[in-house]
Chains A and B, each alone.
Chain A
Amino acid sequence: MAARKLNLKQKYGHFTRGLDWEPSYQSKDDIFPFAKYEGIKVHDWDAWEDPFKLTMDAYWKFQAEKERKLYAVIDSMAQNNGQLGITDARYLNAVKLFIQGVTPLEYQAHRHFAHLARHLPGAGLRVAAQMQSIDELRHCQTQIHTISHYNKFFDGIHDFTHMHDRLWYLSVPKSFFDDATTAGPFEFLTAISFAFEYVLTNLLFVPFMSGAAYNGDMATVTFGFSAQSDESRHMTLGLEAVRFLLEQDEANVPIVQGWIDKWFWRGYRLLTLVAMMMDYMLPKKVMSWAEAWETYYEQAGGALFADLARYGIREPKYADVAKAEKGHITHQAWTIFYNYTHAAAVHTWDVDDQHLAWLREKYPETFAQYYEQRYLNWRDQANQGKRFYNNGLPQLCQVCQVPMAFTEVDDPTTISFRVSEFGGDKYHTCSDGCKDIFDHEPEKYSQAWLPVHQIFQGNCGGATVPEVLDWYHINQGADNMDYAGSPEEAQWEKWMEGRRPAAPMAAAAE
């Protein structure tokens, strides 16, 4: 008689539950010291149903296959000078933003999921966290390998980890993840697994990966697909973890709701940089930020929050503000980067007529009215040899750390200023969303390392801009300043010249 074979669910159960045990001589509270202080109540860890029944043998097999396929593409790209296939060298600034801003977050995620793999009391969740930790390290490494090819030819990529920890715009993603990793395990799961990797994930993935596809960067596309297949596991973990917490105890609902409100807003503000990239840095555009927000948040989010309504969860607070702002934030962000390109490791440039027309078409209610004239004025100044750079340093939001360029929802000509008092000091924030976050945990956000304030404390290499740029490891005259006149532009033009025919076709035929 044939031996009885275990089905997938049984096999999985034996691998992940059969190996766990109840401690007999140490208290569970001592073994899991982070499990209770957030106020979350879990009565029955066995009620956790792993969404994917992936055992380690299957995990290694599939991940190895993904790696083999990806590295074959990266090798091929290097051998075939794939960098020549991109639409225009300006596109690379999206890749620079990615390696400087996003790749280090993958590493942070790797570290913290390893922490969760130890500190979550449930065996099934620990297994999922362990796999995610390895996934995130793989993402970090594959991004570095993919983008290392561009580092041979383009600027701003050479010292991304050093820059991530210091530059003014990179403190936006850095502080986002620092906030999450210094929170408790359940807040982290809500913040990253749910809000970032489920609710908002497409607003990171589609702009960068579709942007890569539209602009001839097949290496990044391939990396993107390789990572996204892991993301489907991550997003499912996030959704199921939040569901699990909501089902375990009614008392968890307002706590989780508070985290959803906070991390929706923090994630949304972080996405300002991605939104700008989408509307301004892609020579061939995928869609506008406004369209992406409509598709991937307003429509998709509707289905999700309709499903969670049964637990008493509502849509995140200030989702209405994000919707109202979608016609504005990218232009405000481009304004920030245009102002401060001399201090950044990405280029900006003057917007040409074709691009202006696209922006007018995609933003019929805001672009011509509030932003177009500004760009035309800047272009005039640049044509006169007086390209505008801001002489001062910006005011940063204490929470999201983005320069405070956002405007009031009902008046897009007025900067949105909010202020709080704590411990005898003032703290400025950019919005009600960020102010609420500050006011709820001022002990945390009053400690922020704000790049502009640190410069004025003398902690960033000196009192002058060139000294600070040196401290940032910015190669001055190469990594920074306008794309026009950059070494990268000169190189790109030379390559493209090399690809054009030597003589007109008609003359050759004569």
Chain B
Amino acid sequence: MPTASLNPGYSGPVRDRVENFGGAQLVYVHWEGHNNFCSAITLPLPPETPFGALTAEILPSLYSVDPDWAEVDLSTARWMLDGEDWQPEAAKGIGEQGVGHKSLIRFWTQPSGRA
């Protein structure tokens, strides 16, 4: 489009600045191949959160309700962070491993049928 209908110099309040989340960042996670979970899930996570907390507690709390989760071995999952391949380490915080405010984490586990 050749023109935007804004007066020059216009700006307004950005409501989702990271400062508004009390020390947390927003992180989106999605278990690929399981769109029975309709979309990625939004999580408020402090950047110090160890990646291991994600795999041991948070993701199971979200996804274990799916019968496929019983066969999932996250140690062999494939991960992408913000569109790039990612090899996260359990002991390190997600912030120091590149997860920023509104980052998107996608992961693939062994295929076990359509959902």
Contacts and interface: CB of A to CB of B under 8 A. Distances in A.
Find the residue from A254, A377, A407 having the highest chain B CB count within 10 A. Answer: A377
Contact of B5 (A184, A332, A378): A184
Given A448-B15, A450-B16, A339 B1 contact: no
B27 to A, nearest CB: 10
Given A258-B1, A413-B114, A456 B35 contact: no
B38 A339 contact: yes
Contacts of B103: 426
A184 B30 CA distance: 38
B61 interface: yes
B44 interface: yes
A255 B11 contact: no
Contacts of B114: 370, 373-374, 413
B65 A407 contact: no
A425 interface: yes
Given A393-B41, A419-B104, A452-B42, A374 B115 contact: yes
A382 interface: no
A419 B83 contact: yes
B35 A405 contact: yes
B42 A453 contact: yes
A417 B21 contact: no
Nearest to A423: B14
Contacts of A378: 36
A39 B3 CA distance: 8
A450 B5 CA distance: 23
B6 interface: yes
Contact of B36 (A335, A404, A452): A335
Contacts of A386: 65
A443 B10 contact: yes
B102 interface: yes
B103 to A, nearest CB: 7
B49 to A, nearest CB: 14
Interface string A135-149: 000000000000000
B16 A453 contact: yes
A452 B39 CA distance: 13
Interface string B1-35: 11111110011111111101110101010101101
A390 interface: yes
B40 interface: yes
Contact of B6 (A405, A415, A427, A443): A443
Contacts of B24: 456
B101 interface: yes
B31 to A, nearest CB: 10
B109 to A, nearest CB: 14
A354 interface: no
B43 interface: yes
A440 interface: yes
B17 A425 contact: yes
Contacts of A476: none
B56 to A, nearest CB: 16
B38 A405 contact: yes
Contacts of A407: 35
A187 B5 CA distance: 8
Contacts of B100: 426
B62 interface: yes
A440 B14 contact: no
Interface in B28-87: 28, 30, 32-33, 35-44, 61-62, 65, 67, 82-83
B4 A440 contact: yes
A37 interface: yes
A404 B40 contact: yes
Contacts of A255: 1-3
Given A261-B1, A444-B12, 12 more contacts: A254-B3, A258-B1, A259-B1, A336-B38, A393-B41, A405-B39, A415-B39, A417-B40, A425-B14, A425-B17, A444-B6, A454-B15
22 contacts: A39-B3, A254-B1, A254-B2, A336-B38, A386-B65, A392-B41, A392-B42, A394-B38, A403-B38, A413-B33, A414-B32, A417-B40, A417-B104, A426-B82, A426-B100, A426-B102, A427-B102, A428-B104, A440-B1, A444-B6, A449-B15, A456-B44
Please provide the 3 A-B residue pairs with the shortest distance between their CB atoms, ordered closest to farther: A258-B1, A392-B41, A395-B40
Interface of B: 1-7, 10-18, 20-22, 24, 26, 28, 30, 32-33, 35-44, 61-62, 65, 67, 82-83, 100-104, 106, 113-115
Interface of A: 37-39, 183-184, 187, 254-255, 257-259, 261-262, 332, 335-336, 338-340, 370, 373-374, 377-378, 386, 388, 390-396, 403-405, 407, 413-415, 417, 419, 423, 425-428, 440-441, 443-444, 446-450, 452-454, 456-458
